[in-house]
């Protein structure tokens, strides 16, 4: 079986100002032809920087993405950004349903699915985030929780070009804690079979990223787990050398 081409994506969250273009420049410089041959690289800065970063990254093969989008293309939604606007700004990906948005903004699976559909409509690849809380894992409900999120958040007809899944246990984000390789393997296998039920043969090509405290020191172990097709990286993606070292684990 041929594995999908891996993707290492940086989620900058609410970090970054104009001078952070220096970090993007360092990432572009470190994305050598050798690394380019092995892994796709994506930086998702805050919305204010998407356009600037997309211009800077043009021709470098480093992709630029948004961190969220509204389900509608335009209208009376103060403060929101549409998928079409991200496309216009030069983005090619958008993260949807990150656990911080599910928690801070009460985003439901249905809303996340609508956002993923908006991303497809605008020609973006949606990175759909799922993951259990500590309570859910301790109660033995991690697999069922994530399966329900996949069924509820992934639009029907999703394919390898328009959809990426990011499994991010909420308790592993920004904490330095990570699941065991065996737990990651079990979850990613479950997600692959959930995707097969939704997307049939396309499921084999849909990339399933692991996210949550990925660092240079643990990247190789986490990224070599079966059905792990890349990483969604938060904190470590703000430091070019760390982000590149994670990508170089491939
Ligand atoms: C994230 O929020 O997507 C994430 C994985 O964060 P961190 O790498 O900082 O845990």
Query: Measured from the CA of 168, which atom of ligand 1 is nearest?
Result: 5
Residue 186 falls within a domain, yes or no?
yes
Q: Which residues are annotated as a binding site for substrate?
A: 11-13, 174, 213, 234-235
Residue 58 falls within a domain, yes or no?
yes
- DSSP letter for each residue of 92-154: -EEEES-HHHHHHS---HHHHHHHHHHHHHTTPEEEEEE---HHHHHTT-HHHHHHHHHHHHS
200 backbone φψ class: left, alpha, beta (φ>0; ψ -120 to 50): left
214 within ligand 1 shell (Cβ under 6 A): yes
Query: Measured from the CA of 166, which atom of ligand 1 is nearest?
Result: 3
**Stretch (H or E) spanning 23:** helix 21-30
CATH number at residue 205: 3.20.20.70
Residue 1 falls within a domain, yes or no?
no
pTM of the full structure:
0.98
- For residue range 83-106, list pLDDT tens digits in order: 999 999 999 999 999 999 999 999
**pLDDT in the model for residue 3:** 84
173 within ligand 1 shell (Cβ under 6 A): yes
107 within ligand 1 shell (Cβ under 6 A): no
CA of 91 to the centre of ligand 1 (A): 20
Residue 156 falls within a domain, yes or no?
yes
Q: Give the residue, by CA position, lying nearest to ligand 1 atom 8.
A: 234
174 within ligand 1 shell (Cβ under 6 A): yes
What token pair was written down for 212? 């949550």
Task: Give the pLDDT mean for 97-122.
Answer: 98
- For residue range 47-90, list pLDDT tens digits in order: 999 999 999 999 999 999 999 999 999 999 999 999 999 999 99
- For residue range 165-211, list pLDDT tens digits in order: 999 999 999 999 999 999 999 999 999 999 999 999 999 999 999 99
- Distance between CA atoms of 231 and 215, rounded to whole angstroms? 10
**pLDDT in the model for residue 1:** 59
Residue 29 falls within a domain, yes or no?
yes
- Number of C-beta neighbours around residue 54 at 10 A: 21
Band (pLDDT 50/70/90 cuts) for residue 138 is: very high
Total structural domains within the chain? 1
**pLDDT in the model for residue 203:** 96
- Distance between CA atoms of 150 and 154, rounded to whole angstroms? 6
- Distance between CA atoms of 61 and 39, rounded to whole angstroms? 11
Residue 143 falls within a domain, yes or no?
yes
Residue 2 falls within a domain, yes or no?
no
Domain range enclosing 82:
7-247
211 within ligand 1 shell (Cβ under 6 A): yes
**pLDDT in the model for residue 133:** 98
Mean pLDDT for the chain overall: 97
Residue 60 falls within a domain, yes or no?
yes
Residue among 12, 104, 173 to mutate when testing ligand 1 (max atoms within 8 A of CB): 173
């Amino acid at each position: 079986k041929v594995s999908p081409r891996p993707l290492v994506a940086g989620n900058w969250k609410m970090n970054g100002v104009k001078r952070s273009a220096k970090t993007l420049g360092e990432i572009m410089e470190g994305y050598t032809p050798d690394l380019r041959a092995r892994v796709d690289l994506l930086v998702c800065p805050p919305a204010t920087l998407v356009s600037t970063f997309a211009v800077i990254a043009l021709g470098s093969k480093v992709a630029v993405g948004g961190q969220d989008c509204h389900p509608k293309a335009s209208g009376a939604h103060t403060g929101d950004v549409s998928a079409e606007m991200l496309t216009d700004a030069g983005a090619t990906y958008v993260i949807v349903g990150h656990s911080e948005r599910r928690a801070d903004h009460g985003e439901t699976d249905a809303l996340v699915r609508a956002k993923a559909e908006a991303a497809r409509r605008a020609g973006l690849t949606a990175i759909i985030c799922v993951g259990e809380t500590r309570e859910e894992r301790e109660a033995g409900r991690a697999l069922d929780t994530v399966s329900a999120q996949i069924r509820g958040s992934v639009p029907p007809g999703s394919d390898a070009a328009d959809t990426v899944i990011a499994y991010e246990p909420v308790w592993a984000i920004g904490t330095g804690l990570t699941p065991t390789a065996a737990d990651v393997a079990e979850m990613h296998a479950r997600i692959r079979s959930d995707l097969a039920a939704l997307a049939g043969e396309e499921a084999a090509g849909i990339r399933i990223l692991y996210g949550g405290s990925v660092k240079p020191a643990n990247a190789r172990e986490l990224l070599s787990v079966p059905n792990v097709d890349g990483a969604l990286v938060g904190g470590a993606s703000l430091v070019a050398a760390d982000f590149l070292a994670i990508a170089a684990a491939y």
